[in-house]
Structure 1
Amino acid sequence: MSPQPDLLYSEEEEALRAAVRDLLTDHCGPADVLARVESDAPHDLSLWKSLADGMGLAGLLVPEELGGHGATHREAAVVLEELGRAVAPVPYLASAVVATEALLESGDAELLGRLASGRAIGVLAVGLHLAPGADFPVVDVEDGLLSGELTAVADAAAADVLLVPARDGDLYAVAAADAVVTPQTSLDLTRPVATVTLTGAPARRLGPAAPAVRRALRAGAGLLASEQLGLAERTLTDTVGYLKERRQFNRPVGGFQALKHRLAQLWLDVVHLRAAARGAADALATGADAELAVAVAQSFAAPVAVRTAEEALQLHGGLGMTWEHPVHLYLKRAKADSIAYGTAGAHRDAVAALVDLQAP
C-alpha cells in the first residue's frame, strides 16, 4: 500500500502564504481590483511583476537547472489559494501552471526559462472550458506558418507567447505580437477571455500537442481547486465578520439560529474542499493517482465555491447587491471557475470511469 499523503501545510508553505498575503494586502485590495476591472487594462501587470520577478513565484514548478525554483504543486497551490482570496487579476494559473506544464512536457528549456523568470507570460491557446483529456481545437499549419481561430482563451490579452496546437498533431510557440487577440465578453472581469486569430503566423515547433495539452489541463484543473478554496474561505470569513457587526432588533444578525445553521454548513463544505484541494495538489506533486485526485477535487470544488459566494451576496443584504462591494467579483470568479477546465459533472463522469463505476 502507498503511504497516506500528508495534507497539512508545512512551515515553508505557511511562510510562503504569509509572504504572498502581505503582498496582496498591500497591492491588491478590493478597491484596487474594482478599479482595475473598470479600466481598459484588467490585468495588473505591476502586481504580476512583483509576484513573478520580485518573489520568483512564476518559476515554482520549473526545475532549478532550467531557471526555476524546483518546488512542487503543493507550493503553487498555496499561492493560488491566496490569489483566489484576493481575486487577483494576474495570469498566474495560465502562465505559471498551465503553460509551464505544457512546456515541461515538451521540454523547451529556453521558453521555460523565460516564463520562470517572469520575462514572458505564456498562455496555452485552448478554451478555458476544456477538461483534461477532452478534444481540443487546432489550427492549420503550412511551412511553419499557422492559420486559424481559437476562442475562449483565458488571459490571452496579457500573453507574450502563445502555445498553439496544430492540425499536424504538434504544439507550436507563437509570439503574441503575430496574433490578433480580440477580447470576448467575460463574466469574470478579473480573468478575461479572448479570441486568438492567426493568419500565416510564424511559429516554432515544440513537440507533440496531445500529451502536453493533457498534462497542462490536468494541472490547471487540479490547482484551480486551490484557487476556489481561497475564494470560498475569503467569502465565508467576510460574511461571518459582517453578520457579527450587522444588527437587527438590537442584536447581531449572526446570532439568529437560521443563519448560524447556514454558516455552519458552509464551514463544513469549505473544510471538505480544503481536503480535496490539498489532495489534488499533493497527488500532482507526487504523481500518485493524480487523475483521480484532480477529478475528485473538481467534482466538489465548483459547487462549494459558487454556493459560498452566492450565500455571501445574499447574507450581505442590500450592501452585497452594490457594485462598490467586492462580493460580486467573487461570485463571478466562482461561476466562471465552475466551467473552467471541465464542469463538475464532467469530472464526476471522469471519477466514475477511473474507478469503473458504471451508471445504472
Structure 2
Amino acid sequence: MPTPPTASTAVPPHWGTTVRTISIQLAAAVVIGGAAHLAPGLVVPPLLAIVLAMALSPVARWLEGKGLPPLGSSLICTAGIGAILALIISLLAYEAGELFRQLIGNLDRISTLIAAALRRAGVVTAAATPEFWSVTLSELIRTSLDWTVRRLGGLLGVVAGAIFLLLSLFFLLRRRDAWAGRAFRLADWLGLRRDPEVVKATRNRVASYLGILSVIAASYTVLISLVFWAIGLPNPILWGALTGLLEFIPIFGPLISGSLATLGSLASGTLWKPALVATIFIILHTIEGYILWPIVFGKTIQSDQVTILLGILFFGWLLGPLGPVLGLPLVIILRGLTALTPGTPALDALVAAEDAAD
C-alpha cells in the first residue's frame, strides 16, 4: 500500500521555478525603481516609449496592411508622436509663461479678492488679509516652478528626453516582432507562462485606455476653449489645451486644471466668472468620476480604483512629473505580468476590478 505524502513532500508544482521567477521580478523592480528615482530622465523615456509602442502597434500594422513597409509605418507613427510632443511642449511653455505673467501682474488683485471673500465668510484671522495671500501665492508659484524645473532637468533635459523617447519608440516599432520574440524567450527563462492571449489583452487595454482618454482630452479642449471664449476670458485655446493635457493625469489632473482655471479667471476682476468656471469643472468632473471612470475605464482597465490611485501616487513619487501620466498604463502592464507569473492568482484577484474578479 503506497505511503501517503507527508506535509513536507506536498510541494506545489514548479515551486522552485515560481520562487525564482518572483525573486528575479522583485530584484528587477528594486533596481529599476532605484534607477528611476535617482535618474528619472534615463528611465522615463524608455518606459513611455514602451507604452506608446504598445498603443501604436495596431496603427503601424494597419499602415503596413495598406502597403507601407515597416520602416515607413514606424517613421509615420514616430513623426506623429514627435509633432504632438512639439505642440505640447510649445503650448505648455507658452501657457506657463502667460499664466506666470498674469498671476504676477494680478497677484495683488487676486489676493484682495480672496481676502474679501474670506472676510465676508466670517474669517477674521490673518488669512483674511491681502498681504497673507500675496506672500502665500508668491511662495506657491516659486516652489512649483522650482520643483518642476528640477524634476524635468530644465529645457535641455526636456529636449534630450523627447529625442531619447522618439528614438526608443522608432526602434521598438521598427523591430517590434523581434522584440516580442525576445520578450517571450525572456519570459520562458523567468518561468512565466507563455500566454499570447494575456499579452494581447494587456496591449489592447493600454491602447484602448490611451485612445479613449485622447478622445476625452480632445473634447475637454474644445469645450473649455469655447467656454472661456464665450465669457470673455483671455487665451481660451491655451486654457482648453492645458485642460486636455492634464486629463492624461488621472484623478489629480482634473483637480489641477480646474483649480488653475478658476485661479486664472480671478484675474478678470469679477467673482461670477471664477464661480462659473468652477461650477463647469465640478459638473464635468462629476460626470467623469461617476460615469466615465466606472463604466468606460472600469471595463477597459479592469482594475480596482484603489489600485489605480495607489499606482498613480507611487509612480508619481518614483518617476517625477510624468509618473502620474505613466501610472495607469504601467498598472495595466504590471497586472499582465502578474497574470503570467505562476503562483500569483490571489494577487491578480486582489488588483482586479470587482466585475473582472467575478
Report if TM-score (shorter chain) is over 0.5.
Answer: no
Could you state the TM-score of these two structures normalised by the residue count of structure 2?
0.28
Q: Which structure features the higher share of helix residues?
A: 2
